Amino acid sequence: MKRFSFFLYLVLSGAATSYAQTRASTWNLQPGESRYIFTDTAYVRTGPDTRQTIADTLFAGDEIIVREILEKPLALKGFTAPWLQISYKKDSVEKNGFLWQGLVSLTPLRRGDIRFIFGIDRRFTKTYQDNGVPYEASEILIRLKAVTGGTSIHSAEFRITDEETLNYTDGRIMSGLGLTNVRNIIVLTFSGAACGIPTNHYYFAWLQDNRLVRLPGRTDESDAGVYYHEERFVFPAEKGGQPDQIILNIEDASNEDEKVDKTGNPIYIIKKSQQRFGWNGGNGTFGPLP
């Protein structure tokens, strides 16, 4: 057991180091792409270093174009990310400068004059004990903001404890799908983009009174030919939907012996289940239904 505990310590410590060094891939950035400023304020500098002169100040929701991703990292807020060379327009004048990637949003989302901006707020590292052997585990704080005119109207947050799900991120905006008092539903996706690593979808309601409210989330996971776990929502405006209910259909399939049919397709044992949540549009809350 002591050997296993020490091995666990090495694995988790290595994972934490790997995260700090390589998680810049979470942004999925390419030169020429546009992003929003994620933090309330961000300093644009004359060079890729915090000791360089501040040339300008940008605010949450300001749009930038990434010109180059530099091979010069900066460790801040618990994680490491590179410097960016950027361009942007201010007062109709195009400007250039350097910005740390940690100040920039993940997938840019917009509906009308509202920009929904989400990004990594910070990374926390906690120390735990396993049979007297210390090891570190991390939590990643993700924040979603609704921003207009450089001002944050409302925000919501959640924490990710499985760092392997941060290899890929995406986001999308949907209609309210029939939920009372909901203008839009924002879906934020975090995935390991690999077999056996879950893809987690975090749902938020954008209410008529300009509040962001967390909704139930869903998870998908699979290992080709061995198992899969799928979760799908049905909202009131969708086929089979019910008034002010969120229906979660769950399908679990297993093929422990990795059997295949004559055409080579896996032979799964499939189990289906369902969960229902009631939505209260008046106060923006939900709860499980019997």
On whether residue 129 sits in a domain, the answer given is yes
On whether residue 159 sits in a domain, the answer given is yes
Question: Which stretch, 160-164, 202-206, 258-262, has highest mean pLDDT?
Answer: 202-206
Domain count, the chain: 1
| pLDDT at 23 (0 to 100) | 54
On whether residue 48 sits in a domain, the answer given is no
On whether residue 77 sits in a domain, the answer given is no
pLDDT higher than 90, residue 81: yes
What is the residue-averaged pLDDT of the chain? Answer: 90
Note whether 163 and 221 are within 8 A (CB). Answer: no
The band of 228, judged by pLDDT with boundaries at 50, 70 and 90, is very high
On whether residue 269 sits in a domain, the answer given is yes
| pLDDT at 256 (0 to 100) | 85
pLDDT average, residue stretch 13-29: 55
Range of the domain at 238: 2-28+106-288
| Residues whose CB is less than 8 angstroms from the CB of residue 142 and which lie 6 or more positions away in sequence, other chains included | 118, 119, 120, 121, 157, 158, 159, 160, 188, 190, 202
On whether residue 220 sits in a domain, the answer given is yes
CA distance 128 to 212: 33
Question: Which stretch, 38-52, 121-135, 261-275, has highest mean pLDDT?
Answer: 38-52
| pLDDT at 7 (0 to 100) | 35
Note whether 54 and 47 are within 8 A (CB). Answer: no
3-state SS class at 53: coil
On whether residue 35 sits in a domain, the answer given is no
CA distance 124 to 72: 23
Name which of 35-49, 116-130, 269-283 the model is least confident about.
Answer: 116-130
On whether residue 266 sits in a domain, the answer given is yes
The band of 16, judged by pLDDT with boundaries at 50, 70 and 90, is very low
